Amino acid sequence: KPISMSKVYGLIAAAGNAVRIGGIPKFLLPLKENKNLLMNSFSWLDNSGVHNYILSTNETFIPILKQLDGLDSYLNTEEIQVVKTKTMNETINLMLNSKTFSKDDIFISIMPDTYITNVNLGNEMVSLLQSKSELSAVAGLFKIKHYQKGKLGQCKIENGLIKNVIDKDPSCDYEYSWGAMAWKLDYLPYIYNSDPHIGFSINPAIESGKKVGYIKSDSEYFDCGTVDEYWKLIKKLI
């Protein structure tokens, strides 16, 4: 795990209503060996060198989470934050306003309805952010699959930096999409509550002069917010 004086915080925003799959909590979608997407997210973050976790959810899901096998090995379930938010970004901002952090602390987030096959990617992202003082954030990038075009945020990259992100545009020809983010405290002003997710922070940060790096991964990325892509993941795991 990365060694640094800074603390690494793993953030999981699980406050959505899962309207794309009929209201079923997406983080409970099952994987192999009695695991689920949420516990897989915690395992992935653990490999990233996380020291502390912050989990936020809506009131409906609290009883489910408190009964979830294995969750208490990562955090005290009594500390789960109950929020009523409209966007992932609003949830993240509430998380980060709930504690006092050092300017050197690092935050890393993976969406609980996604699956990343490379378990070491987060570690690489955090290590790059710790070693490059000029960077405010680092994104984990994946070569986009043909069926994902128009569904994800695609990144223009140049000389180790992200230059632009185009979200959900089928005509975009950028080869890589982002799937996870790590950032420092000076990146927080660009995470606007009104934006749907953390990926929307990249363009305003760049426009304000912040540098956003990336790690290109050979990993596969699955957005399990839709049944079709979740089924693709299950077929791969089987």
pLDDT tier at 1, thresholds 50, 70, 90: very low
Per DSSP, helices labelled H in 85-192 are: 88-96, 121-131
**In sequence order, which residues have a C-beta less than 8 Å from that of residue 194 and are 6 or more positions away?**
87, 89
CA distance 228 to 128: 34
- Work out the pLDDT band at 173, boundaries 50, 70, 90: very high
How much of the chain exceeds pLDDT 90, in percent? 85
CB count in 10 Å sphere of residue 99: 10
Residues 6+ away with beta carbon under 8 Å from 66:
77, 80
Q: Report how far residue 196's alpha carbon sits from residue 211's, in angstroms, rounded to the nearest whole number.
A: 22
Distance separating alpha carbons of residues 161 and 216, to the nearest angstrom: 11
Q: Which residue is associated with the tokens 């609290």?
A: 62
Span 32-73, pLDDT tens digits:
887 999 999 999 999 999 999 999 999 989 999 999 999 999
Instruction: Report residue 5's pLDDT band, with 50, 70 and 90 as the boundaries.
Output: low
Given this model, what pLDDT does residue 227 score? 87
CA distance 54 to 95: 7
| Per-residue confidence (pLDDT) for residue 18, from 0 to 100 | 62
> Span 155-166, mean pLDDT?
98
**Dihedral sign (CA 138, 143, 147, 150):** positive
Whether 187 and 137 have beta carbons less than 8 Å apart is answered as: yes
Q: 32: which 2 tokens?
A: 């192999």
Q: What are the distances in angstroms from CA 184 to CA 24, 177, 197, 212?
A: 33, 21, 17, 11
3-class SS of residue 69? coil
Q: Kindly report the average pLDDT of the chain as a whole number.
A: 93
- What is the per-residue pLDDT for 3? 46
Q: How far apart are CA 147 and CA 139, in angstroms?
A: 21
Decide if pLDDT at 2 tops 70.
Answer: no
pLDDT band (50, 70, 90) for residue 29: very high
pTM, full prediction: 0.94
Tens of pLDDT, residue by residue over 101-152, are 998 999 999 999 999 999 999 999 999 999 999 999 999 999 999 999 999 9
CA–CA gap between residue 182 and residue 211 (Å, rounded): 13
In this structure, the dihedral spanned by the alpha carbons of residues 87, 202, 25 and 223, taken in order and rounded to 10 degrees, is 140
Q: In the predicted model, what is the mean pLDDT of residues 171-178? A: 97
